[in-house]
Amino acid sequence: MSNTADQAESHGHGHGEDSLGKLMLGALGVVFGDIGTSPLYALRETFAGHHPLPVDAPHVFGIISLVFWTMMLVVTLKYVGFVLRADNRGEGGTIALQALLMRHGHGRRWAPWVVGLGILATSLFFGESIITPAISVLSAVEGLTIVEARMQPLVIPLAIGIIVGLFLIQAYGTARVGALFGPITLLYFLTLAVLGALSVADNPQILHALSPHHAINFFRADGVLAFLALSSVVLAVTGAEALYADMGHFGRNPIRLGWLWVVMPALMLNYLGQGALLIADPSAIRNPFFLLAPDELRLPLVILATCATVIASQAVISGAFSITRQAVQLGYLPRLRILHTSARTEGQIYIPFINWTLLVLVILLVLGFETSSNLAGAYGISVTATMLITTCMMAVLAMHVWKWNRWLTAAAIGAYLVIDGAYFIANLTKIPDGGWFPLLVGLVAFTMLTTWARGRWLMNQRLTESAMPMEIFIKSATRAATRVPGTAVFMTSTPQGVPHALLHNLKHNKVLHDRILILTVLIDEVPFVDLEDRIEVVDLGGNFYRMLLRYGFMQQPDVPAALKLVENCGPQIRMMDTSFFLARQTLLPSERPGMAIWREKLFAWMLRNAESAMEFFKLPTNRVVELGSQVEI
C-alpha cells in the first residue's frame, strides 16, 4: 500500500525544486479557493435556504456538528487520507484516475463501467465550473448590502463586471496574478480564523457542537428536516474534489499539510463563530459571515472576500481548461484551439471556446437566479454526484489494481457509498429549485463526449475496413510511381493500412516523394511521456517508414519538434524539404448500425468545427496539403 501511495512524489513535476512551505502557500491559492469561500453562504443556506430550519440552539449545534463531521469524513479521511494516494504518475482528478484504471483494465469486465463513470464525472464538472464563479462572486458582493442596504441594486451589475473582467484576463495568462493568490488566500484564511475565534470566545459553549451526538440528536428529533439539511451542509465541502484534481501541480504532501494545518482549522473556527453568533442573535442569519465582523471592518472584509472568490473562480476556470485538454487528448472531444500562456509552465493554457462559453453561461446564471441563495439551489448535485463517482472508481482501484483486502475495502467503500449517496439523494430535492441546471449541462456535455468518442471509433473502423494493406501498396507503388525529391509525411489516426491521403495523392499527382513517413500521434493513458519513449519508427522497405509519436494526456503534441529528433529513418528531416499531407473527412450519415442518425449528424457537425490538424499539431502552414474524402458511418 505504501509503494502505491508514494508514487506521486517520485513522478512529480519539479516539486522538489521548491520548499514544502512555498508549495503549500501556492496550494492555498489554487487548491482551496472553492472550499475556502463556502463559509460565505453554506451556514446561511442551511437555515434560510430552500429547506429552512429554526435558528435555535439545538439546530445550530446539530448543523455545526454535521459540518464538522462532514469535513472529517469526506475531506480529511476520504480525500486527504485515501483518494490522494491514487495518482497517475503524479496527476490526479477523475480523468487521470480513469486513465490509470484503463491502463490496468483493458479487457476486464469493469473497464466499460469505469469509462462511463469517468466521462460522467467530467460532464458534471462543467456544470460545477459554471456555478462556482456565479455563486462565489455574488455571495461576496452581497456583503455590500450588510455595509449599506441601499447598495442592493448595485450587486448584480458589480458581480457581472467582476466576472467579465475575470474572463477577459484569461487570454493573458495568470502567472503574474497567480503569484499573489497564495498570500491573499492565506490572509483570507487567517481572517476567517480570527473572526471565528473572537465569536467563539464570546460564546464558548459552541465548542460542544464538535461532538457527534449533536448531529445524531438532530436526526432523532427531526429526521426529515435533518436529511433535507444535508443538501445545504454539503455546501461546506464543495471544492473537495479540487484537492485531488490539483495534486499534479503541488504534490500530495503540500495539499495535506495545507488542509490539516491552515484550511480546516480556519474553516471550522469560522463555522463555530457563525454558530455562536446565531445562538446569541438569531436575526444574524441574514448574513452571518459578514456580521461576524465589526461595522468598521465589514467593507474591508467584503473586498477581501471578493478577492478570495475571484481566486476560487480562477482555479475553477483553469481546471475547466485543463479538463478540456485532457478530454481532447484522450479522444472525448474534437480538437480545440489551445493557446499556451506561459513558456515555462506546460499546464498554463487558454482555450478561447471554453472561456467565452463559460462567460456567457455564468452571466446568464447570475441574471437568471439573481441571488446567491437562489443559486445555492442549483449547487451541490454535480458536486455530490462527482464525489459518489470517485468513491466507485476508488473501489475498483483498491480491489483490482492495488489488491487490498476485499472485506476491509468493501466495508470502507460501503460506508462511503452510504455517506455520499445520502448527500446526493438529499441534493436531488433541489432539482425544481435550480438543481436541473447542472444536470442539464452535464447531460449536454455527456452527450457530446460520448458522441465524439463513439463517432471517432466508428470512423476509424470504416477507414480500416477500406484500407489497403501497406505491403501490397509498397510493392505496386514503387514499381509504377515516379519518385520526387523530399520527404512526405502522411498523418493518419489509425496505425494500420495505407492512409487515404496517400492513395489520393498518388491517384491525382502520380508521384511519390523519396521518403514517405506514415505518422500516427498516439495519446497514452499517462500524463507525461518521456522523450526517450516518444518516437517509434518501423522501416517498411522502399523508403517507406511507419512512425508513432507518443504523448501523455497532459502534453501538447508538437510534430515538427518531434521530427527534428528522428535519427533512424535516413537523413535528418528538414522542414523546408518536408510536405505534410492531411485527410479531411466529410461524413455521410447512413442507416448502417453504429449510432442514431441525430448523433451521426451531431458528430459530423463537431468534426466540421474541430480545430484543423495543422494548427493542433503545430505544422508549418506553408508545408501542408489537405486532401478530402467521404466516409459513411
Q: Is a pLDDT exceeding 70 seen at residue 175?
A: no
Q: What residue segments make up the domains of the chain, in order of their start? A: 2-434, 461-632
In whole angstroms, what separates CA 294 from the centre of its chain? 38
Distance from the Cα of residue 150 to its chain's centroid: 39
Concatenate the DSSP letters of all residues of 6-58 into one string: HHHHHT-SSGGGS-HHHHHHHHHHHTSHHHHTGGGTHHHHHHHSSS----SHH
pLDDT at site 10: 36
| Rounded mean pLDDT, 494-508 | 83
How many CA atoms lie within 13 Å of 69's alpha carbon, on the beta-carbon side? 17
Cell of 384: 455530490
With bands split at pLDDT 50, 70 and 90, how would you rate the model's confidence at 527? confident
pLDDT digits (tens, 9 = 90+) for 90-113: 888 888 899 889 888 777 888 889
Task: Sort 621 into a burial class: Cβ within 10 Å, 0-12 / 13-18 / 19+.
Answer: exposed
Average pLDDT score over the chain: 88
pTM of the model: 0.86
Taken in order 297, 299, 303, 309, the sign of the CA dihedral is: positive
Segments in 538-589 forming alpha helices (H): 559-563
Confidence class of residue 14 from pLDDT cuts 50, 70 and 90? very low
The set of cell numbers assigned to 586 is 466529410
Whether the Cβ atoms of residue 600 and residue 589 lie closer than 8 Å to each other? yes
Query: Average pLDDT in the 295-302 region?
Result: 92
In terms of Cα–Cα distance, which of 318, 30, 333 is closest to 182? 30
Helix ranges (H only) for 203-287 are: 212-221, 223-233, 240-245, 247-250, 252-258, 264-280
Confidence of residue 501 (pLDDT cuts 50, 70, 90): confident
**Adjacent-strand bridge partners of 521:** 549
Can you tell me the mean pLDDT for 172-201? 85
Characterize the bridge pairing of strands 482-491 and 511-523: parallel
pLDDT tens for residues 536-593?
Answer: 999 988 889 999 999 998 888 999 999 998 988 888 899 999 999 988 877 776 667 6
Q: Architecture of domain 2-434 in CATH?
A: Up-down Bundle (1.20)
Q: Which residue has the higher pLDDT, 631 or 595?
A: 595
The terminus-to-terminus CA distance of the chain in angstroms comes to 46
273 or 461, higher pLDDT: 273
Residue % of the chain over a pLDDT of 70: 94
Q: Which of 43, 308, 34 is nearest to 196 (CA)?
A: 43
Residue 600: Cβ within 10 Å count: 23
Report pLDDT digits (tens) over 40-71.
999 999 998 888 899 999 999 999 999 999 99
Residue 523, classed as helix, strand or coil, is: strand
SS3 of 372-387: HHHHHCCCCHHHHHHH
Of 116-120, 179-183, 561-565, 578-582, the range with the lowest mean pLDDT is 179-183
Residue 474 binned pLDDT confidence (cut-offs 50, 70, 90): confident
Q: What is the pLDDT of residue 11?
A: 41
Please write the tens of the pLDDT for every residue from 134-145.
999 999 999 998
Lowest mean pLDDT among 25-29, 150-154, 394-398: 25-29
pLDDT for 3 equals 40
SS3 for 76-111, per residue?
HHHHHCCHHHCCECCECCHHHHHHHHHHHHCCCCCH
Give the pLDDT mean for 509-538: 90
CA 375 to chain centre: 21
For the residues 446-469, what does the mean pLDDT come to?
A: 86
What's the pLDDT at 179?
A: 65
Mean pLDDT of 355-383: 92
Region class of 141: left (phi > 0), else alpha (psi between -120 and 50), else beta: alpha
